[in-house]
Structure 1
Amino acid sequence: MRAAAERWWAPAYGALLVLGLTWPFLVPGEAFALRDMVVFDSMSLTRASLGWGDLAARNVPQDALLGILPKPVVFLRMFMVAAAACGAWAGYRLGRSPFGRAAAMTVAVWNPFVVERLLQGQWSLAAAAWLLPLVALGAHPMSGLAHWLASLTPTGALAAAAFARGRRGLVVTALSCAPWVVAGVFASAPGTSSAAAAAAFAPRAEKWVGTLGSLLGLGGIWNGQAVPASRSTGCALFGIALFALLALAWRAVPRRWLLLAAAGFAVALASWAGLTAPLVQHVPGAGLLRDGQKWLILAVPAFVAAAGALDRGRALAATAFALLQVPDAPVAVAALTPTSVEIPTVDHRGRDVFFESRPALMRIDGHPVADPAPKAMNVVESGALMVDGVAVDPPSQRWAVAQAALAESADPARLRELGIGVVVHADGSVTFTGAPAQPMPAVGVALFGLWCVVPLVLCAGNHTRVKTATFQQLSRY
C-alpha cells in the first residue's frame, strides 16, 4: 500500500515543484528577455557565440547552440522544464525514505540559488544547478547526458566536471570544456576582469542573516534586484535553519561531495573577503571567480543528499524550511514570462557591425535586458560594465579604437582596418566601409562540433557497457 501511494505522490509533488518555478516557460510568447537572458528565434551563429569575439567566452557554447537551432525559444522551454524535472528525480533517488525523498526533491528544485540565477537571467546556470545532483549520481545512464547539458555554461561545465566519474567523465569533461577553454587561451579577450568588478560581484548580505547567513542558505547573489521580495522580510532565516538540519546528516553525504561543497563555500567566502580580486585582475580565465557566490552550485548535491538522509520529523522540517526561505518564488519568476524583442534591421551580410551609440543594456517591459543585437549578427561589442555607478569593466579594445576613429574623422579606411564592414550611426544612417565578412574561426567551429557529438559518444559508451555485461552473463554458461 505504501509503495502504491509513493508511486503517485512523488511524481505529483515533483510536478508541483517543477511547475512552481518553470511555469513562465510554458506561457506563449515569442522571446525571453530578462537581464542576461535574451533568447529569440532569429538568433545566429556568430564568432562571439563561439568565443572568438571581442569579449571573453562567457556564453560558450550556449549561444552557439541557440544560434544553430531552428527554434531556440522552444528549446529553452523544453530544456528548463526538463532540467528542473531531472533535479526532482535525482532528489527522489537520493532520498532514503518517503519523507527524505520529499525533502531532497524540495532542496534540489526549490532553493534561492536557482531562483536568484533565474531572475538574473542566467538560465543555463540555474539549469546546471538542477542537473548537478543527477551528474553526481554517476552510475545512472542519464548522468553523462546531464553532464553535457550542464556544460552549456563554463561554470556549469566545471561544476559537472568536479562530480564526473571514470573515463567517460574525463572524455565528456574534455569535449565539453574545450570550446571555451581554447577560445579563452587563443582569442583576443583574456578572460580577466578588474578588482572593482570582484568587489561589485561579491556576495551580498540579506536581512537579519548577514552575508554568511545568506550563503548558508545558498542565497546572497550580488544583484539585490534579482532577489525575491521575501528575502528582504527575513525569510532567509529559514535558510540558516535548513542548513543546521542538513548538517546533522553530514555523515550520510559522500566525502567527495562534502569536499566539493566546502570548496564552493571557500570561493564564495574568499570573494566576500576580497581575496579573489588579485586573481580576477591578473590571471587569464580567473574572471570566472569574480562572481564568487555562483560557486555555491558545488554544494547543491551535498545539500540534497543530506536532506534525503533525514528521519521523518527532520525531513518534514527541512521541506518546510526549504519552501519558506523562498515562499514567493512562483510570484518572483513571473518576470521571466515571454516578451518581444526588437532586432535592428541591418544589411550586414555577415559583416561586422559597429553601432555608434547603442547601449549594451536596454529596458524591456521595465526590466534591464542585454542588447539582443550581438546574438543576431557579428557586432563589435563594448563589454563596458557599470555597477551602481562604478565602472567595473572597461570597453573592449576594438570598440574603443572604433569609437575614437568615429569621433575624429569617421574615416572608412580606419574602420575597414578593424574589420568593421557596417557602421550604424547615432542618427540612424549607415556607412559601408568595404570590409568583407570575416570567416568563422575554424577551430571554434570544430570544437563546437565536437561538443555537439558528445551524446553520440555517450550512446556508444553505454552500448559498449551493455554488450560487455551481456557477454559476461553468457560466459557463465
Structure 2
Amino acid sequence: MRAAVSRWWAPVYGALLVLALTWPFLVPGEAFALRDMMVFDQMALTRASLGWGDLAARNVPQDALLGILPWPVAFLRVFMVAAAGCAAWAGHRFGCTPFGQAAAMTVAVWNPFVVERLLQGQWSLAAAAWLLPLVALGLVPASGLAHWLASLTPTGALAAACFSRGWRGVAVSVCTCLPWVVAGVFAGTPGTSSAASAAAFAPRAEAYAGTLGSLLGLGGIWNGQVVPASRELGFALFGVALCALLALAWRSVPRRFLLLAALGFAVALASWAGLTAPLIQHLPGGGLLRDGQKWLVLAIPAFVVAAGALEPRRALAAATFALLQVPDAPVALAALTPTTIEVPAVDHRGRDVLFESRPALVPIDGHPVVDPAPKAMNVVESGALTVDGVAVDPPSLRWSAAQAALDNQARLRELGVGVVVRADGSVAETGEPARPLPPAGIALFALWCMVPLLLCVRNHTGAHRTPSPAHF
C-alpha cells in the first residue's frame, strides 16, 4: 500500500496544481481575450506578426505561429496545460525527498509571477516561466524543446538561453532569437521606449510586503489591477517567508542558477530605482528592460532547486508558504475564461488597413484588451500607450503620417495604405495593392520552426543524459 501511494501521489498532486491554474483554458469558448492576450481562430500571418510592422517585434514569433495554425485557440489550450505540466514534472525531478518534490512542484507551478502575468494576458511569458525549470534540468531532448517553446516571446527566448548548455544550446538560442533581433535592427522598429515608461512599468509594492518583499516572493508586477485580492490583504508576506526558507538551501543550488537569480533581481531592483531609464530610452532593444519585474523569471529555477533540496519539515513549510502566497489564484484566474470578440469585417485582400479612429485597447467584459484587428489583417498600427494618464509610448511615425493624410490618397499610397476605414464606418480604397510579406521575416520564422529538427539530430547523434541536481 505504501509503495502504491508513493508511486501515485506525485502525478495526482501535480495534476491538481496544473488544473487549479489552467482550468480556464479548458472551458469551451471561441476566443481568449484579456489585456495583452488576444487569441482567436481567424488570426493571420502579417508583417507585424513577423516583426516587420509599425511597432517593435514584441510578439515575435508568437503571433506568427498563431497566424499559420488552423486552430490557434486549441493550440493555446494544449500549450498552457502542457507548459504547467512541464513545470510540475521538472519540479518533481529536482526534489530530493517526497516532501522536497512536493515543495519544488508547488514553487514551479504555483507562484505569483505566473499568476500575475496570466492576469496581464502575457500567456507566453507565463508559459516560459513554467518551462524554464525543464530547460534548466538539462535533459535531452526535452530541455531543448522547452527552450524552443519558451522562445515564443523574446523575454522567454533570452531567459531560456541563459540556462541552455553546450554548442547546440547556443545554436538553439541563436535560432530562436534571430527573428526578433533582426527585425528590431532592420525593420526600423528598434524597441526603444520613452523615459516615462521606466516609472510606469517599475515594480510596485503589494500590501504589507513593500516593493522589496513583493519582489522576493516573485510578485510586484507594475499593474496593480491584475494582482489577486489576496495579495492586497497581506498574503504577499508568505512570499517573504518562503524566500527566507529557500535561502537555507542555497548551498544546494548550482552557482550558475544563483548568479542568474541575482541578475534577475538586479534588473528588477534597478527598474524600481529608476536606473534603467537611460537604457530603455536610448539602447536599441532596451524596451525589453522597461518591465523590470518580469526578469524575476531568471530566479525561478534557483527557487525550485532550493525547494527540492530542503529537508522534509522545511519542504512541507515551503510548499505551504508557496500556496499561501496566492491562495485565491484559481478564483482570480477566472478572468481568463473564453469570451466573444468582434473582428472588423474589412475586405482588405491583404492590403494595409488604416482605421481613422480605432483605439489600440478595446473594452471586453470590463477589461481593456488589445485590438484584434492587427492580428487578423495588416493594419497601420498606432502603438500609442497611456498608463495612469501618462503617455509612455508615442504613436508610430507611419500611423501619425497616415492620420494626417486621410484625405490625400496619393500620400496614403506612398505610406502603403490600401484601405481606409472611416470613423463613420465607411470604407475608402486608395488603389494601393497588397504588399508582400518580408522574405527575411518569413525565412527567419521558418528557421525558428525548424529548431526541433536540430534537436532531433542532437538526440540521434548524442547520448541521452538524465542529470540529477547534484550534477549541475
After TM superposition, is the score higher than 0.5? yes
Q: What SS class does the counterpart of residue 353 from structure 1 fall into? A: strand
Q: What SS class does the counterpart of residue 346 from structure 1 fall into? A: coil
Question: Partner letter of residue 64 of structure 1?
Answer: A
Q: What SS class does the counterpart of residue 160 from structure 2 fall into? A: helix
Q: Determine which of 423, 428, 438 is the counterpart of 1:426.
A: 423
Residue 475 of structure 1 is matched in structure 2 by none
Instruction: Could you tell me which runs of 5 or more consecutive residues in structure 1 were left unpaired when the two chains were aligned.
Output: 469-477
2:24–2:334 CA contact under 8 A, matched in 1: yes
Moved over 6 A (4+): none
Q: Give, in whole Å, the separation in 2 of the partners of 1:379 and 1:139.
A: 42
Q: Give, in whole Å, the separation in 1 of the partners of 2:384 and 2:331.
A: 32
Q: What SS class does the counterpart of residue 405 from structure 2 fall into? A: helix
Q: Give, in whole Å, the separation in 2 of the partners of 1:140 and 1:111.
A: 27
Greater shift, 459-468 or 123-132, is seen at: 459-468
Question: Partner letter of residue 147 of structure 1?
Answer: H
Aligned pairs for 1:76-475 within 5 A: 76-406=76-406, 410-466=407-463
Q: Give, in whole Å, the separation in 1 of the partners of 2:233 and 2:386.
A: 28
Q: Give, in whole Å, the separation in 1 of the partners of 2:170 and 2:89.
A: 24
Q: What SS class does the counterpart of residue 421 from structure 1 fall into? A: strand
How far off is 1:141 after superposition? 2.4
Q: Give, in whole Å, the separation in 2 of the partners of 1:167 and 1:95.
A: 28
* 2:71 is the counterpart of 1:74: no
Quick one: structure 1 residues 365 and 467, their matched pair in 2 at CA, closer, same or farther if it must change by over 3 Å? closer
TM-score (norm 2): 0.98
How far off is 1:140 after superposition? 3.8
Greater shift, 136-145 or 74-83, is seen at: 136-145
Q: Give, in whole Å, the separation in 2 of the partners of 1:467 and 1:248.
A: 33
Q: Give, in whole Å, the separation in 2 of the partners of 1:6 and 1:181.
A: 47
Question: Partner letter of residue 261 of structure 1?
Answer: A
How far off is 1:456 after superposition? 1.1
Q: What SS class does the counterpart of residue 49 from structure 1 fall into? A: coil
Question: Partner letter of residue 161 of structure 2?
Answer: A
2:133–2:301 CA contact under 8 A, matched in 1: yes
Q: What SS class does the counterpart of residue 354 from structure 1 fall into? A: strand
How far off is 1:115 after superposition? 0.1
Question: Partner letter of residue 125 of structure 1?
Answer: L
Q: Give, in whole Å, the separation in 1 of the partners of 2:181 and 2:2.
A: 50
Q: Give, in whole Å, the separation in 2 of the partners of 1:52 and 1:430.
A: 25
How far off is 1:404 after superposition? 1.2
Q: What SS class does the counterpart of residue 48 from structure 1 fall into? A: coil
2:350–2:434 CA contact under 8 A, matched in 1: yes
Identity %: 80
Q: Give, in whole Å, the separation in 1 of the partners of 2:2 and 2:383.
A: 57
- Which digits, 9 at most, give the CA deviation of each residue in 1:247-285, with x for residues without a partner? 000000000000000000000000000000000000110
- Which digits, 9 at most, give the CA deviation of each residue in 1:380-432, with x for residues without a partner? 000000000110110000000111112xxx11111111000000000001110
Aligned length: 465
- Which digits, 9 at most, give the CA deviation of each residue in 1:303-327, with x for residues without a partner? 0000000011101110100000100
Q: Give, in whole Å, the separation in 2 of the partners of 1:92 and 1:198.
A: 38
Question: Partner letter of residue 367 of structure 1?
Answer: H
How far off is 1:467 after superposition? 10
Greater shift, 3-12 or 373-382, is seen at: 3-12
2:141–2:456 CA contact under 8 A, matched in 1: no
2:24–2:337 CA contact under 8 A, matched in 1: yes
Q: What SS class does the counterpart of residue 188 from structure 2 fall into? A: coil
- Which digits, 9 at most, give the CA deviation of each residue in 1:155-188, with x for residues without a partner? 0000000000001101110110010000011012
Greater shift, 132-141 or 91-100, is seen at: 132-141
How far off is 1:139 after superposition? 3.1
Residue 15 of structure 2 is matched in structure 1 by 15
Q: Give, in whole Å, the separation in 1 of the partners of 2:138 and 2:3.
A: 26
Instruction: Could you tell me which runs of 5 or more consecutive residues in structure 2 were left unpaired when the two chains were aligned.
Output: 466-472
Q: Give, in whole Å, the separation in 2 of the partners of 1:319 and 1:179.
A: 39
Q: Give, in whole Å, the separation in 2 of the partners of 1:39 and 1:6.
A: 40
- Which digits, 9 at most, give the CA deviation of each residue in 1:100-132, with x for residues without a partner? 000000000000000000000000000000000
How far off is 1:2 after superposition? 4.6
Residue 61 of structure 1 is matched in structure 2 by 61
Q: Give, in whole Å, the separation in 2 of the partners of 1:351 and 1:263.
A: 44
How far off is 1:7 after superposition? 1.4
2:140–2:464 CA contact under 8 A, matched in 1: no
2:49–2:64 CA contact under 8 A, matched in 1: yes
Q: Give, in whole Å, the separation in 1 of the partners of 2:449 and 2:396.
A: 29
Question: Partner letter of residue 74 of structure 2?
Answer: V
Q: What SS class does the counterpart of residue 363 from structure 2 fall into? A: strand
Q: Give, in whole Å, the separation in 2 of the partners of 1:321 and 1:466.
A: 39
How far off is 1:3 after superposition? 4.3
Q: Give, in whole Å, the separation in 2 of the partners of 1:126 and 1:379.
A: 27
Question: Partner letter of residue 266 of structure 1?
Answer: A
